[in-house]
Structure 1
């Protein structure tokens, strides 16, 4: 079980499951030749739908069913132990398989069953936060590869500055393992070093020592930042970034600028409405007038077809088309002017005609 960084389904550190039946035996159709299976999950002799007959029968669900069951188990574990890291949950997965009461991860010597069959009851009983924050599958694959005598021993120890072309595969030299595979080995070393910091912090009586773990320091720049000293466990992770108060100050200034811009826009908008008008407006001293109608009512034979302008003190309401149109609408009869007191002419509200349908269409699709 060394993995292969060129393929997603056997990438180092990834869970690869096989299916077992109710008796714990691997399904007869399973392929166990690649020796990269690391966990077993129920998937054989399960309820399987037959889509052609729309019936359900008992049959093998394949490794796909095993993956779904295993994912559901792990979801329960994450919910039960929210403080555990992903690596710690993987540690519990491989240490607490059925029939393994040692508390340690044990690989099948025949390389067929991996670490054994998942035991969801024990996963929900044993606290995983006691285990190292190190991916156990990654650890097993990197260390196993390092012990081999062929090119696989060099997979996770490569350096692109010294070996940019990668390492040829033992089975096919035309498909070399890229030199970036060395980053996988360095990630494993980073996780181990981080856990040593956690253990040192705990032995010194420090508090919140998990802040030094590999999971909580994974966001360090390019993984090159040196882990902080544990000291008494009271210090925080060192950072070379901008002080926190600078970010608060910049954020406050940004909020002030945005609010100021909004206030200025509102003030200018109100002044624009008060200071100018399409028809003169209040600032012109003539009082508000109804909006201009681009197509006034036509009266044949009067003033070249146009209604004469109203006399002083008279208000003529505009005739609005019952619906928007690109063509002038002929008024069936001229608007009849009516008199209002001059002092009230400027107080009449402007009410443009309603061009919307007053009836609501209760379409079922809009409910």
Structure 2
């Protein structure tokens, strides 16, 4: 089988590998030059074109309510698997925080690196379990600092990853992650991942109750694995709750995006030569939003250990951040925000656009009761069409109910939540006891070479938007306030 393509999801990325089958990227807000040097320098200064209020910071901590979230859940007892390219587990942000580093490649050296080829994975992992300690700048705090992070590298810059197809390597890696106890799998890569080995492994993982999270494309579309059935597809927004210009938008993402999270102008780290410098990268992309969702779900799940993965996802889609405000049409209504502010929230419906159900709000998920939600995956489409991969029957192991069923298996669930300002602290009994844009676009073949890009796009399945799904009444979807 010919190798599949994996590619970065960054808007402006530096090519760090010569192979066409796998390219390593570092997204910054500055235009980057193409380079084959594995120790290529990362941009270390902020662009002057940004207004002072938008200069890169670690703004997502307060936006997502880290301190409040961590009062109730830090991910302890939840294993998160991350699949990416080489990582540097010895940077201050990750020292002692990565439970294991594995690769199925015979060449074990592909798992780690101490140069720019490791920037992507290192930053993504920091967003999940980061210590907050840095070197030469502010370190990154993880959204689930006590989660067990198991890291899996699929190789680096080889035409045939692990002397195999990327499809087979990814499939085997997903299986290994499940075997190692992963409850959540985070993938910030992009490539042609609508291939048999990976799809079958994905179905097995979902059937086992594992939550799989992947990023939407940073060039306006949504590809595999984010497009895969049952996978949480993540888009990215800026500190104002607006979709990034390079995020998936409008009709191109209708029914394909599930949730949005911070991912624009994030102050992260980068290798400068062999030296790691915290705060050296102005980073943007869905690769950053993806681990915030994966880690945030881990933090929530650690507070509700008796909940199923499906119930955790039901809580997610029924608890988006919202507030009363002025829409882009000048009328008062509910608009997306990072937290739930107010009361009497309207019923939550998928937008059909780049926000999906809204902006990820793990802190306010802590105030819900998981028992009120059904054990049904809200992002799993009930369809066995050959454009829906994996099919509903592959995931569930059951025949398709009814005839011509293509509606999304989304339970209605109530959307009301206690105001974040007046909420009672969650009790233990209530639950049983947040530069490196990458993605896996299973429908995209992208060959990156020094000086040119050759691309062939073959669209796979598109998540179908059920008839009852519509834009939130009065919502500007982040464009109004």
**Which bin holds the TM-score, normalised by the shorter protein?**
0.3 to 0.5
Higher strand share: 2
Instruction: Looking at secondary structure, tell me which structure has more helix per residue.
Output: 1
Instruction: Using CA pairs under 8 Å that are at least 6 residues apart, name the structure with larger relative contact order, 1 or 2.
Output: 2
Normalising by the residue count of structure 2, what TM-score does the alignment of the two structures yield? 0.29
